[in-house]
A and B are shown apart, each in its own frame.
Chain A
């Protein structure tokens, strides 16, 4: 018999707000000392009260809009109760009754074709802390840095049917959320985590099989392996009766390539959801809604088509539209210099080379894009040599405040027409000092001219339009 796999995902994404969801502690503690980003509120001290960070709601709404969701204009926070040492209030504040976004859709494309994955809801919630086990002492310590860092949980309908589709879905989510600049979505950093709900049924059946859940998966490759494994395990159980499938939470051991049932104690839960009386319902009025709506970027496909229309190759359009940071760089620099094709060449050569050398991702690009466009203009106009423009661009990566023209001037990199005399003086000096090369050139050795040219350029510290130098050099040699 043929089987189909039915998969639904719950994806947790850390929102990239400056501060935590209910207090003003910094939300960015990656690599920081334990308990250095905490306050009485996020540590659940008696008498403390939560105050909703409005930026979290901004980001939650924006994420919802990116995923084609309806936004609940009155959205509420609810308490989910359970005891765990890393959960200071013995409850997590989440959204159970009226999540910020519902009924969305994410479109994916795989070898099986195009597909729409329905989004059930997106809710905002707080992260928990971390337990740190000291094996030598046999003690456990709690670090509350991550407590109350804002998350969204994106709950899909069970519309996925293969590891490939799951991968396409996760990549698409990541692209869209990065486009909206609401999240880093880096699984290796834990800023994107995934619970996989999976069941298997005979192809064509409309009855769902027994569902198992694998929690906190943190790499796409591991997720794919886990899906393959679970699918095979389910089919084997159904076909050969190797085991009785039960609805349960399982732990995926990626090193061993196996999933294990978790103890029922770890999974049993009556979370006793109820509205948090300390957090008033958040009412999203028209002004707020429209402000966020207007900040939602165009989708990657729309940008790609626009770029092709501007004359970019399909390949380049695809590469630029991969990241909102590259899009902004391209669009703003093009506007500043008026030459999109040139801008895309600079991005795909110089910008990507520097990013690569600095081991930066596209998302870390922090250029002043207008200044970048200006740099391109100056170079095209022959005011800065191509060699120097690369140096300036590299400096601009390190210091956003650099204004290219002023920087070039301050560093003697600006080529001006008044420099003709200076160039002529240097050319004369070089020609006089190297009569051999002059003779060689006159005797037909083209290479000799390049040697002279190189010497002049060196004297000029590259600060010269090559065409201009060549003209002056030839004039000088030929008298």
Chain B
């Protein structure tokens, strides 16, 4: 069986022409999860019964001759930090083990309205803090390309499940690169939308001013289709953008003639793996060959993005994670008094990286340090935005690496500072609130996939999709499949 290798749009055609049923499709995925996820370890919770029920409903619609949406009946996976009513939502943390929300995230409701089929909830770094998915409190996920490598993070389960054909697509969240970096490591497409384009209602917060939900998919067309379903204004999220969201598939023309593309020099050279740099330059050259204007440009404040991010994100996280106190839900450690319960609950419930960031953030916000750290970081954030504003006066999009390297080796990631650098190319877009798309573009000397990042001004998703689609249509470097023997 090879249905699981197909994309949303390919499967949709088969469903509509009744060559396959949604039930058959979901069963193949569930069987595949059963057979392979013991190795990949992408799922925390598999919701087989629910998925079969959802598939059956789609089959009933098809049998009744009803028209179905593009995502109807397509099996997918949800990162375990998005609330799903009655289904465990853990953030891969002991703190929320067994927690079943009474509500679903807006994105989940939106997909439900599209007759989605949810296979389950996928693994991540605890509370989305990490770049390897090794910070999951439950287990590490492996890279389907190579069992010795990590899938990236924090949306490692989202990326690995799609790359291993254990889901047709998935939802991830991206605070500093958590969709794009794992997409890059696993050789699939990942998009972090403009801040405010996808509702954060029901997304368990890491850093509220940076978090954004987005798709991980097998190709650019699928990415556009998912974006059509999940974007939109939501009055339950005050930061949601009231915007006239377009049909993103309209951008899939393959035509990049006249597009102005910038190649920022700060993202090349030192610290970037030469194979990665070569592929970024190759992709830029390809776009030029297809009629785009490509030139080198500069974003001078890029080097300050990482320190600013590691003040802002932990500061917000230290506050967002204060609610896990053992009083109302999740883990409660018994203790003599209330203060003891707070301390022991948080001591037992959080892993080391979460604790590290809570401490960093608490420090940055402390009286006497606020101006020197948090406030200064906000000023830097503003300068980075201005960098982008200037660049986007001249360019429709920028092309950079998604990550400085291909997938990191497993079990060798104890130095937090070294690891934080894995997000060095993705963090600036989060700080600026702009969209970024990671597109697979060939492999490195070890056969591991390389991701190229396209970024644009706020709501420029169509421009990113347009450039990515042109590369996809005109090369054989974007639709990569892992060597089945190595990682699966």
Contact = CB atoms under 8 A, between A and B. Distances in A.
Interface stretch (B111-119, B186-194, B324-332): B324-332
B238 A50 contact: yes
A278 interface: yes
Interface in A248-287: 270-274, 277-280
A274 B319 contact: yes
Contact of B96 (A46, A88, A271, A280): A46
A49 B200 contact: yes
B316 to A, nearest CB: 6
Interface stretch (A78-86, A342-350, A352-360, A361-369): A78-86
A50 B102 CA distance: 17
B366 A272 contact: yes
Contacts of A396: none
B367 A270 contact: yes
Interface in B334-367: 338-339, 342, 362, 365-367
A335 B99 CA distance: 62
Interface in B91-116: 91, 96, 99, 101-103, 105
A50 B200 CA distance: 11
B380 interface: no
A170 B144 CA distance: 69
B101 A47 contact: yes
A297 interface: no
A90 interface: yes
Interface in A36-53: 40, 43-52
Interface stretch (B164-172, B203-211, B296-304): B203-211
A322 B118 CA distance: 64
Given A81-B319, A90-B322, A46 B367 contact: no
A89 B322 contact: yes
A90 B321 CA distance: 8
B445 interface: no
Contact of A280 (B105, B235, B238): B238
**Residue from the set B96, B209, B319 with the largest chain A CB neighbour count within 10 Å:** B319
Contacts of A45: 101-103, 328-329
B239 A278 contact: yes
Contacts of A330: none
B102 A47 contact: no
A43 B203 CA distance: 16
A45 B324 CA distance: 9
B204 A49 contact: no
B315 A274 contact: yes
Contacts of A44: 323, 328
Given A49-B237, A90-B323, A272 B83 contact: no
B322 A49 contact: no
A274 B102 contact: no
A444 B318 CA distance: 96
A142 interface: yes
A242 B204 CA distance: 55
**Residue from the set A52, A272, A280 with the largest chain B CB neighbour count within 10 Å:** A272
Contact of A272 (B99, B205, B342, B365): B365
B322 A142 contact: no
B83 A46 contact: yes
A278 B323 CA distance: 15
A47 B319 contact: no
B397 to A, nearest CB: 27
Given A46-B83, A49-B236, A89 B323 contact: yes
A179 interface: no
Contacts of B237: 49
A272 B103 CA distance: 30
Contacts of B239: 277-278, 280
Contacts of B319: 79, 81, 90-91, 272, 274
A16 B328 CA distance: 28
Contact of A81 (B83, B96, B322): B322
Contacts of B89: 46-47
Contacts of A90: 319, 322-323, 325
Contact of A51 (B99, B208, B235): B235
Contacts of A50: 238
A76 to B, nearest CB: 12
B202 interface: yes
Q: Size class of A's contact patch?
A: 20 to 34
B432 to A, nearest CB: 15
A106 B385 CA distance: 44
Contacts of A79: 319
A278 B370 CA distance: 19
B288 to A, nearest CB: 39
B323 A52 contact: no
Interface string B303-325: 00000000000011011001101
B248 interface: no
B395 interface: no
A277 B316 contact: yes
B294 to A, nearest CB: 36
A140 B315 CA distance: 31
Contacts of A85: 325, 327, 338
Contacts of B367: 270-272
B338 A46 contact: no
Contact of A88 (B103, B201, B315, B328): B328
A142 B327 CA distance: 9
A458 B6 CA distance: 95
Nearest to A79: B319
Given A85-B338, A270-B367, A91 B322 contact: yes
B193 to A, nearest CB: 17
Contacts of B315: 274
B469 interface: no
Contacts of A52: 238
B367 to A, nearest CB: 5
Contact of B323 (A88, A272, A273): A88
Contacts of B103: 40, 45, 47
Given A277-B239, A278-B208, A83 B101 contact: no
Contacts of B316: 277
Interface string A72-104: 000000010101010011110000000000000
Contacts of B96: 46
A139 to B, nearest CB: 12
A274 B314 CA distance: 13
Nearest to A44: B323
Contacts of B267: none
B151 to A, nearest CB: 24
A47 B325 contact: no
Contacts of B329: 45-46
Given A274-B319, A274-B365, A280-B239, A47 B105 contact: yes
B22 to A, nearest CB: 29
Contacts of B203: 47
A342 B99 CA distance: 67
A46 B100 CA distance: 10
Interface in B241-285: none
Contacts of B207: 277
A125 to B, nearest CB: 16
Nearest to B315: A274
B309 to A, nearest CB: 14
B388 interface: no
Nearest to B346: A83
Nearest to B235: A51
Contacts of A46: 83, 89, 91, 96, 99, 101, 204-205, 323, 329
In the complex, the 5 A-B pairs of residues with the closest C-beta atoms, listed nearest first:
A90-B322, A277-B209, A272-B365, A277-B208, A47-B202
Interface of A: 40, 43-52, 79, 81, 83, 85, 88-91, 140, 142, 270-274, 277-280
6 contacts: A40-B103, A47-B103, A49-B201, A90-B319, A90-B323, A277-B209
Given A91-B319, A271-B367, 17 more contacts: A40-B102, A44-B323, A46-B83, A46-B89, A46-B101, A46-B323, A47-B103, A47-B204, A51-B235, A81-B365, A89-B323, A90-B323, A270-B367, A272-B318, A272-B370, A273-B365, A274-B365
